[in-house]
């Protein structure tokens, strides 16, 4: 599901909300989630899962076009662990 799909679903679910307003609301929620991840290093959405910022070590990678090894620098990434409610099989 893309951001525009989320805005469309929100617009259809709430009749009084215009499509631009739904798009702005989705953007605000995503921005808030991103800012919380940056500030706290983790984000817990009950019943959905946990997002956590992790440090990736530098490593050797391959430049396929040139066939050479390149150094990939260290960076931060986000890991998602789904909640048990989300992964439980539905009957």
CATH code of 64's domain: 4.10.520.10
On whether both 36 and 46 belong to a single domain, the answer is no
The 10s digit of each residue's pLDDT in 4-55 is: 999 999 999 987 889 999 999 999 999 999 999 999 999 999 989 999 999 9
On whether both 22 and 9 belong to a single domain, the answer is yes
Q: What is the structure's pLDDT at 65?
A: 93
Q: What is the structure's pLDDT at 91?
A: 61
- Of the candidates 33, 28, 26, 75, the residue with the CA atom closest to the CA atom of residue 51: 33
The 10s digit of each residue's pLDDT in 63-81 is: 999 989 999 999 999 999 9
On whether both 1 and 35 belong to a single domain, the answer is yes
On whether both 29 and 6 belong to a single domain, the answer is yes
In angstroms, what CA-CA distances link 74 with 32, 58, 69, 79, 87? 26, 4, 16, 16, 31
On whether both 33 and 49 belong to a single domain, the answer is no
Domain encompassing residue 12: 1-40
On whether both 33 and 51 belong to a single domain, the answer is no
Tokens 């990434």 belong to residue? 77
On whether both 62 and 78 belong to a single domain, the answer is yes
22 and 11 Cβ atoms separated by less than 8 Å: yes
């Amino acid at each position: 599901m893309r951001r525009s799909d989320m805005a469309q679903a929100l617009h259809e679910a709430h009749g009084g909300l215009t499509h631009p307003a739904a798009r702005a609301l989705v953007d605000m929620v995503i921005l808030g989630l991103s800012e919380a991840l940056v500030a706290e290093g983790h984000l817990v959405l009950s019943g959905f899962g946990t997002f956590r910022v992790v440090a990736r070590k530098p490593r050797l990678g391959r430049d396929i076009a040139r066939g050479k090894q390149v150094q990939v620098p260290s960076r931060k990434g986000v890991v998602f662990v789904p909640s048990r409610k989300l992964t439980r099989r539905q009957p």
